[in-house]
Amino acid sequence: MDGAWVYLVTGGCGFVGERIVELLSRQDYIKEVRVFDSVAREEIEKLTATRVTVTRGDIRDLSALLAALQGVHVVLHTAALVDYRDTVPFGDMRAVNVGGEPHTVPSALPCPHTHTLEAPAGTSSCAWCSLSLDPAHPEVNGGTLRTCIIRANTIYGEKAAFLQELYLLARARNGVLNYLEPEDTERNLTYVGNVAWMHVLAARHLQLQPDLLAGQIYYCYDDTPSKKSFLVRHQLLSSADPSVRLGSHIPYWKMWLMIQLHRVIRAILPPFWRPQPFLSVALLNTIVTSFSFQTDKASRHFGYKPLFTWQESRLRTAQWLRAAAGTPQPARTFASK
């Protein structure tokens, strides 16, 4: 059936979903790539001239989702709400990330999911490894839904909102980039293009080798340095703007007190003034905690190799940061990693 497969990407206009759709649209074994998202980005709509169709819909709307699923062979489920600044009602997060998933996908479809390591328990977009229209009956029409989970730690690259925020914050402080992580903290950062590529490969091999991939969890990785992640962020920002320099470490207790003070202000000032969102304790605890691993499982199971080296990933990110900040001069090149 090569050339006849139909793929659906939920959340296909999101940070990772958009890159997945772009890569899927280049695969000659796929007839159509469907995007199901509550928003539509211009970049995705430009791909509709190829084999991409976009449907605007809410993942909580079962009838709209089932309509998008008609004739689909493979689902890549990346739709989720992630919020660490207390700006999204918890009920909305639960409804999107947890509440609707048992009926998300008919049970005969291969279905890789995205899962971030930082996601608090109960808010993951892949809480179930076996999904069906009826959770009590995972087998429908003689077919079994086969799923695998793609787990990413911190993802960076073009359109990474946290990088743009840090860049603008550093520029507002005369180029000084302070950091919260302790000196010994380690974190696996992965370039968004490599995360997307792992999804594409996993989806394909879940069709070809379902007994090997079904039920497996794969951690995203590439050759981005993992030690002292604040240094990695500094390299990304300083590659876009050499004037950005590393500042000092902000102690945990000081930031914790600032968060509590901000909570008090938010509680007493509205409706006269509503302060901008700030860090939450959950995000602070995530930042100061190491999330590090070593694996080659994706390489062994489905031949994954990163599409982009650390040097290429850094250059692409720097070029985007410059353009996003209104300074479109060429980013500097690198002689080494």
pLDDT tens-digit series, residues 247-287? 999 999 999 999 999 888 888 877 777 777 778 888 899 88
Report the 10 Å Cβ neighbour count for 279: 18
CATH numbers and ranges of domains, the chain = 5-145 (3.40.50.720)
What angle do the packed helices 15-24 and 192-208 form, to 10 degrees?
A: 50
| Of 114, 112, 47, the residue nearest 80 (C-alpha) | 114
Amino acid in the structure at residue 180 = L
| Residue 79 pLDDT | 85
Burial label for 304, CB within 10 Å (0-12, 13-18, 19+), is: buried
3-class DSSP state of 154: strand
- 194 burial class (0-12, 13-18, 19+ CB within 10 angstroms)? buried
The residues, any chain, with a CB within 8 Å of residue 1's CB and separated by 6 or more, are none
pLDDT value of position 192: 96
CA gap 336, 320 in Å, rounded: 20
pLDDT at 335: 35
Predicted TM-score (pTM) of the model is: 0.83
Q: Which residues of the chain have pLDDT under 50?
A: 100-104, 107-108, 115-142, 328-337
CA distance 7 to 22: 12
* pLDDT of the residue at 111: 60
The pLDDT value given to residue 208: 87
Q: Are 332 and 242 in contact (CB under 8 A)?
A: yes
Task: Give how far Cα 93 sits from Cα of 155, 233, 336, Å.
Answer: 20, 28, 42
Q: Which residues have a catalytic role annotated?
A: 156
Give the residue among 3, 126, 149, 151 at the shortest CA–CA distance from 73: 3
CA distance 21 to 44: 8
pLDDT at 42: 66
**In angstroms, rounded to a whole number, what is the distance separating the alpha carbons of residues 179 and 183?**
10
Q: How far apart are the two ends of the chain, measured CA to CA in Å? A: 42
Phi/psi at 145 (nearest 5 deg)? Answer: -70, 125
The reported pLDDT for the residue numbered 141 is 38
Residues 6+ apart with CB under 8 A from 105: 69, 75, 77, 111, 131, 132, 145
Cβ proximity of 288 and 249 under 8 Å? no
User: Do residues 185 and 253 lie in contact, with contact meaning Cβ atoms separated by under 8 Å?
Assistant: no
